[in-house]
Structure 1
Amino acid sequence: MFPPSSVSPSPCPPRRDRVVAALRAAGCVFAEDEAELILSAARTPDEVSALVDLRAGGLPLELVVGWAEFRGLRIAVEPGVFVPRRRTEFLVDRALAQAPDAAVVVDLCCGSGAVGAALAAALDGPELHAADVDPAAVRCARRNLAAVGGRVHTGDLFDALPGSLRGRVDLLTANVPYVPTGEVPLLPAEARDHEPQHALDGGADGLDLLRRVAAEARDWLAPGGCVLTETSERQAPAALDAFTRGGLRARLAASRELRAYVIAGVRP
């Protein structure tokens, strides 16, 4: 994707301005910032060219460089694994506000493990478990949670967890997919074409997995324990109802800046 003049036999990395020009020509809005990240990730001029080609072809920047920043942490990401979003930092913020002293933490639908890693970094050495149905996500999460002693399990929601956690969880997060099936084709190409469908598609109204989490969470929470999940403004009333039907005291929190909506449910 570089213009012909940018290819050089010199061992020096391509000039930054040429990388910026190539990214800008490909439609990258933040070409300058992306160029810095690509240049820092590449080891040779050929690798720079390869990474720019990948980015210009539509691959998300995080997958191009191999990591995403999330709440000040560098989270490893891999092709086929959901890339953590900045708005999900609000989920972590609300979780910590709700349970600042949580000792047993579970992160369902963990993807790369970003939420679990951020919680572990902020809490005082919690017992951390994470789970995902996708083996690729589990492998990635194990990379990101190894340093904090997190245990990552493979399976469908609560079926993945050890039975010994039942009734002991102080804080449970579940960043479930919540895009209605019919709206998945309308997502930005970076998500639609490069992230796994099961990490995006939440069923007919987007709430299939959220309802399952709400129905089962109470049995896994300790008394006073809390479960939190992301949703949309439009879906919030139905999500609150699902949490209430699950025997939880439910409330909605919103961040207008991040366009983020989080439902929290507390076991009485």
Structure 2
Amino acid sequence: MALSAEEKVQVVNNLITQAPPGEFIDVFNDLRVLLNDDDLMREQIAISIVKYNLESFTPVSIPGHGQVLVTRHGDLGQGRFLDPSRNISFKFDHLLKEATDPQLHNVDSKAEPWRAAMETALKWYIAQHFSTGICTMYEKTIHNQQIIIGCMEAHQYNPSNFCNGSWKAEWKFTVSSPITQLTGIVKVQGHYFEDASVHMSTVKEVEETLYLTDPVQGAKEFVSIVERAEAELHKTLMEDYASLSDTALKALRRALPITRTKLDWDKMSSYKVIPAPSN
């Protein structure tokens, strides 16, 4: 039975928002061919593309300024986003993932010392633990409270080896000296696609007490909590991966010899082949 236009849109939207890290364009192009209706794609799928980019904490380079994350916290409307550390706004093309038209955008913030200190500390942490990765720290006033929101994203795309992965985190707290609550959500995704398609996705929620006597001390405490929480998650993931390698993943590919080592094919020509005994 043929699908209606509304049903096609729903199916495509679901698949787009579930695209593995680093493979959005591949998924989009495949769906475009399958759907064979560019008008429908342009008119109805745009919302899903925006949602995917915002939830993915999409990194983008602003011409002449550097990198920033595109997130819902920096959405200024009309297709423009905020880079709070440089006090500029820019226009973002969600399909091409390009930033253009940077403009000065002053933000009158009483919590800027806290935002700047937390961002500096989080950048240091990322440099210590990730080969690639960036962060953007926001300050927002909600119900007369100063809220600090930190977003970070790191990824490694290696399609030649059939694997892509990303690590994202969002941290949030109210500036309320001397004690406040820090909440965090860490999301890890992986996709392995050699001779099979294996997806891994995990989410860790964190809630800790954060002491804020001053911005510098608070930033040190903040990074300490982030480091501890993410180290625990990384340890758990590695243990789970080791377990899967010996169970479920082993069934997906040909098992290694009982020695658990690969054959040295360069030496195969020197091996003696013993003929089977005749009956």
TM-score normalised according to structure 1 size:
0.25
Larger strand percent: 2
TM-score normalised according to structure 2 size:
0.25
Larger helix percent: 1
User: For the pair shown, which has the larger CA radius of gyration, 1 or 2?
Assistant: 2
**More contact order relative to length (CA 8 Å, sep ≥ 6):** 1
